[in-house]
Amino acid sequence: MPARYRWSAPSSARLAATLALAGCLSAACGGSDTPGTAANPSASASPSASSSPSPAVDPATVKADELGQIPVLMYHQLLAHPRGVYDQTPAQFKAELVSLYAHGYRTITAADLIAGHIDVPAGKKPMVLTFDDSTVGQYDELPDGSIKPDTAVAILLAVGKQHGEDRPVATFYVNGEPFAGHPAYLKKLHDLGMEVAEHTLTHANLKQLPDAGVQAELAKGLKVITDAIPGVQVTTMALPFGVRPRNHALAAKGSSGGISYSFGGVFAVGSNPAPSPYSAKFNPMYVPRIRSGLRTGDQSFTSTDWLPQLYSGKVTPYVSDGDPDHVSFPKASASRLSPRYASMARPY
């Protein structure tokens, strides 16, 4: 069975590294207010690479590089007639998706990225599709309950299937009245395998709020999700406008009104590809995203600039070895590996 369609328990090294990352707040990990920059998280040395059975696929034959960069793409509205730089037509979204799949990309969620559980077939590359603001152009239904054509989810499911990915996934960052007052859609997305995650209650600029206000926004936003999907674990959040609160730590952990939240990953607004979660440069508390869109004055923040660089190799992409329990990379790249993942390393 291809790796993308099976689940395997994390190795002990992966689990230890994931727990360390999940507990790393911005105060400890550093980070910058500039989108796309990330500080080196503090790390203690891990055991040297362990001996393991030979991989099913020789990493060298697929040119695996699991220290390469990963596009985390940010989408908003799909509209027949886009009104702003964050909007796209369904045809534009489909064209970009077809291009990504044609260049070997396959989907993982934001939670997968943060957890360091990247399970895509050997030779393929992970991409994270994120959708902000829970708009009906992303997901909507016809009266019979079927998914409305030309929504992002309908297009993703169709394009993914055409490229051999029967259950493509994405991450939806939702606000207080998701999908024009259809909170039941959150459970529908969850049942499709999508990640439903936090984007605050009112899309507030967190830097303009006192600490209590920041926590209320996030706690109340979380309740919208957990009311719709009882028992769900919400592990990532996206910052409205890409702006962190003055107390950076409150973006990841806090409580209000008897509701506590704790996120392992905090996602920013458009800029460059994200480092591999196995890289020493990966900061889970400020993960950059690439803004998808064609109508903008600054192409350096957008997919029209970054995807060609990833396709051509000008920016080194993450290429999977097909084994989610090891990290393969050329020996020359060994200095980029986070010490947390040394026990999983498979240089060649």
Question: Sorting pLDDT into bands at 50, 70 and 90, what band is 219?
Answer: very high
CA distance 188 to 175: 16
pLDDT value at 9 more than 70: no
pLDDT in tens, 270-326: 789 999 999 999 999 999 999 997 655 566 679 999 999 999 999 999 999 999 999
Strands 72-75 and 125-132: parallel
314 and 19 in contact (C-beta within 8 Å)? no
Residue 321 token pair = 């070895």
pLDDT value at 106 more than 60: yes
- The enclosing H or E element of 258 equals none
Average pLDDT across the chain, whole number: 87
3-7, 102-106, 119-123: least confident range? 3-7
Question: Sorting pLDDT into bands at 50, 70 and 90, what band is 28?
Answer: very low
50-59, 247-256, 304-313, 322-331: least confident range? 50-59
pLDDT in tens, 175-192: 999 999 999 999 999 999
Residue with token string 């990504």: 100
The full set of domains in the chain, from first to last, is 11-23+58-342 (3.20.20.370)
CA distance 68 to 278: 9
pLDDT in tens, 143-162: 999 999 999 999 999 999 99
Question: Three-state SS across 66-78?
Answer: CCCEECEEEECCE
Q: What's the pLDDT at 46?
A: 34
Helix (H, G, I), strand (E, B) or coil at 216: helix
For residue 216, CA distances in Å to 64, 156, 229, 325 come to 44, 33, 20, 38
113 and 277 in contact (C-beta within 8 Å)? yes
pLDDT value at 74 more than 60: yes
pLDDT value at 207 more than 60: yes
CA distance 269 to 242: 4
The stretch 100-125 carries a mean pLDDT of: 97
Residue with token string 């259950």: 167
CA distance 300 to 213: 33
Q: What's the pLDDT at 54?
A: 53
Q: What's the pLDDT at 300?
A: 67
Q: What's the pLDDT at 29?
A: 41
222 Cβ contact list (under 8 Å, min separation 6): 198, 234, 259, 261
DSSP string, 138-195: TS-B-TTSPBPTTSHHHHHHHHHHHTT-SS---EEEE-SSHHHH-THHHHHHHHTT-E
Is the torsion defined by CA of 6, 9, 13, 17 positive or negative?
positive
Residue 282: phi, psi to the nearest 5? -75, 125
- The one-letter amino acid code at 128 reads V
Output 106 or 35, whichever has higher pLDDT: 106
End-to-end CA distance of the chain: 25
250 and 230 in contact (C-beta within 8 Å)? no
Strands 345-347 and 72-75: unpaired
- DSSP H helical ranges for 192-293: 211-228
Residue 59 token pair = 């990493």
Residue 138: phi, psi to the nearest 5? -85, -45
